[in-house]
Amino acid sequence: MKLLRFDSQLWVSAPRPLVFEFFSNPENLERLTPDWLGFRIVTPRPIELQAGARIDYRLRIHGLPIRWQSEISCWDPPSRFVDEQRRGPYRKWIHTHRFEEQEGGTLIVDEVRYWPLGGRLMNWLFVRRDVQRIFRYRSEVLRQFFDARE
């Protein structure tokens, strides 16, 4: 199976260590996720992100309750980290977060490689559009939080 790919970039005026610190706090994931997903972290807190850390979530996708577990498979502060779905709605989900110093701020680069249940048809019908909406919302929140520009 050739994984599908979604990419997103956003430049923020904040320094890379500050941006990485924001992403290092799992509770900020709730802030970055639109309300319509009903996203909640269920792992007991505090959660320390590091290689091997696993985080459990609950959310609703098109009204269906979903349990999701991700594992931090790579942790390289303040440059990048990778989270991979271990249990959830995808056959495969690998999200690489990169943080690059650029023009006095930070370029946040997201690369998501995934394969939904139902394959390309489900991606075309629902998944791609949902992922785009989620990342659009995420960019708006980050832009407001860091007084950012794209």
**Tell me, which fold does domain 4-146 have in CATH?**
Alpha-D-Glucose-1,6-Bisphosphate; Chain A, domain 4 (3.30.530)
Question: What mean pLDDT do residues 139-143 have?
Answer: 95
Domain boundaries, the chain: 4-146
Q: Is 77 exposed, middle or buried (0-12, 13-18, 19+ CB in 10 A)?
A: middle
In 3D, which of 57, 60, 55 has the Cα closest to residue 38?
60
Q: How far apart are the C-alpha atoms of 126 and 121, rounded to whole Å?
A: 9
The string of pLDDT tens digits covering residues 87-135 is 999 999 999 999 999 999 999 999 999 999 999 999 999 999 999 999 9
Least confident of 67-71, 97-101, 142-146: 142-146
> Which tokens in the block code for residue 8?
């997103």
Tell me what pLDDT residue 148 has. 52
Instruction: Read off the pTM.
Output: 0.93
Tell me what pLDDT residue 1 has. 72
Task: Say whether 12 sits in a helix, a strand or coil.
Answer: strand
- Provide the mean pLDDT of the chain: 95
In 3D, which of 86, 91, 95, 130 has the Cα closest to residue 2?
91
Question: For tokens 């990048």, what's the residue?
Answer: 80
> Which tokens in the block code for residue 22?
């924001």
Q: How far apart are the C-alpha atoms of 135 and 143, rounded to whole Å?
A: 12
Q: How far apart are the C-alpha atoms of 110 and 39, rounded to whole Å?
A: 20
Is the Cβ–Cβ distance between 41 and 30 less than 8 Å? yes
Q: How far apart are the C-alpha atoms of 22 and 19, rounded to whole Å?
A: 5
Q: What DSSP state is assigned to residue 44?
A: P
